[in-house]
């Protein structure tokens, strides 16, 4: 994906692994981030390139909580916004729409083997 202000991103997904869970790796110009999200524990680690400083975050939650507790937190925030007529939300409808359009554009680009702009989805 190429963003308007210059950065680009590549997303690779696969469903075949000997391990339960999800891994994420993000490489940036100043640091890299690696994460593991699984039923047996979760963590995120940031490695700064210049200093080689590593920052480790334990993001484990109670076993059995859907998506690491994210499902419950999302629904709690949604219900709270309805009950209080609050405009504070975890994400806006516009942000949710844009993220879904990006996913649809990426899939269209994969299937058709060409560059797809968001306004073409």
Q: Per the structure block, which two tokens stand in for 49?
A: 């390139």
Which sequence spans correspond to the domains of the chain? Answer: 1-59
User: What is the spatial distance between Cα 70 and Cα 78, in angstroms, rounded to a whole number?
Assistant: 12
Other CB atoms within 10 Å distance of the CB of residue 90? 13
Q: Give 35 or 67, the one with higher predicted confidence.
A: 35
User: What is the spatial distance between Cα 31 and Cα 48, in angstroms, rounded to a whole number?
Assistant: 4
Q: Is the pLDDT of residue 20 over 70?
A: yes
Residues 75-111: tens digit of each pLDDT: 888 788 788 876 666 677 888 898 899 889 988 988 9
């Amino acid at each position: 994906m190429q963003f308007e202000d210059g950065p680009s991103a590549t997303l690779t997904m696969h469903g075949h692994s000997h391990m339960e869970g999800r891994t994420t790796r993000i490489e940036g110009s100043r640091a890299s981030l690696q994460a593991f999200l699984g039923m047996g524990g979760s963590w995120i680690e940031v490695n700064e390139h210049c200093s080689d400083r590593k920052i480790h975050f334990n993001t484990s939650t109670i076993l059995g909580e859907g998506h690491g507790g994210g499902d419950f937190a999302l629904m709690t925030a949604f219900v709270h916004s309805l009950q209080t007529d609050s405009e504070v939300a975890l994400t806006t409808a516009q942000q949710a729409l844009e993220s879904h359009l990006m996913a649809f554009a990426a899939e269209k680009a994969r299937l058709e083997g060409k560059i797809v702009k968001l306004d073409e989805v």
